Structures are given as C-alpha cells and as structure tokens.
Amino acid sequence: MSIFDPDSIDKSILLILQGDLDDSVQPYLKIAQRLGISEAEVLERVKRMLDSGVIRRLGAMIRHIEAGIGFNGMVVWVVGPDRVDEVGRVFASFQEVTHCYERPPFGKKKANLFTMVHADSEIACMDIIRKMSEASGIDAYEILFSERELKKVSMTYFDED
C-alpha cells in the first residue's frame, strides 16, 4: 500500500462516491463532467485510491423491498469458536446471504455468528435458512424478520468541511 495525499479533486471524488451514483451507463463520466476533468482521470484517481487503501471497495446498495425481495431475516447462530471460520465460509457461499459477521456472544443462547438472508417470501427465507443449517450442521439459531425499513443510507465518512 502506498501513501496517499489527496488533493481537492480527490476529496471531491470521495465526497461524490460516498453518495448515490448516477444510474446512467457512464456514472464516472457524469462525475468527470461535474468536476471539469476527463472520465479517464476520474477512473485513474479512483484506481489510485483503491490501490492505496483510501477506498477499500466500491459497492452497490439495493433497496430490496423496491426490487421485489420483500422478506429478509437476520439469523443469529450459535457456533463453537473452533468452527466460526468454517461455518462462516459455508454461510457466505449462499447467494441469498448478504451479510455474515462474527460478533461477541449475544443473548441467552450466546449467538456469535450473524447472517442476513433475503428471499421473496417468508417460506423461501425459511427454506434457505434450513439449507444453511443442514450444510453447516448448526441447528442452534434464531431468526429476526424485518417488519419495515426505517432508515437505509450509505455511511458518510468525508464531508466538505
């Protein structure tokens, strides 16, 4: 990783990237036009920030309810400490799982592995969770279904100040 010293254009790019990107075919061209530079320069600066570790990753956040994926469940699993890595890899391999975290033991059952499972119905979500349980051999878990979304925004790490 190289040392990175951002200039005002880099800071402007970071400010734009932490918000919603334009849904056009060329969102980086839109950024370039907004900043008065070329698309190639935007892409080169973003690559440099990725290479230096200033940007760890670029990702999309899907508004799952609007996309027709109306059911999701946070599943809290009780996994022996010696199996967390193994079971985490199994859970993460399911395409319906968007989040898989180890956390300090929580609650009466001391759940320590958390997954977010998405599906188009409660039955489908339960079926996925059952398959995850069978694939991992873990049958100690609880499911917390979402009832409604109250807030969903990207984190702001950098502002104009």
Residue pLDDT, tens place only, 109-128: 999 999 999 998 899 999 99
d(C-alpha 49, C-alpha 142), whole Å: 40
Q: What is the pLDDT of residues 52-75, one digit of tens each?
A: 988 888 877 766 666 666 788 999
Retrieve residue 127's tokens.
Answer: 């079926």
**Mean pLDDT, residues 27-48:** 95
Look at 63 and 77; give whichever has higher pLDDT: 77
Beta strand pairing call for 111-119 and 97-106: antiparallel
- H/E stretch holding 71 reads strand 71-77
d(C-alpha 19, C-alpha 76), whole Å: 30
Burial of 98 (0-12, 13-18, 19+ CB in 10 A): middle
Cβ atoms of 44 and 3 within 8 Å: the answer is no
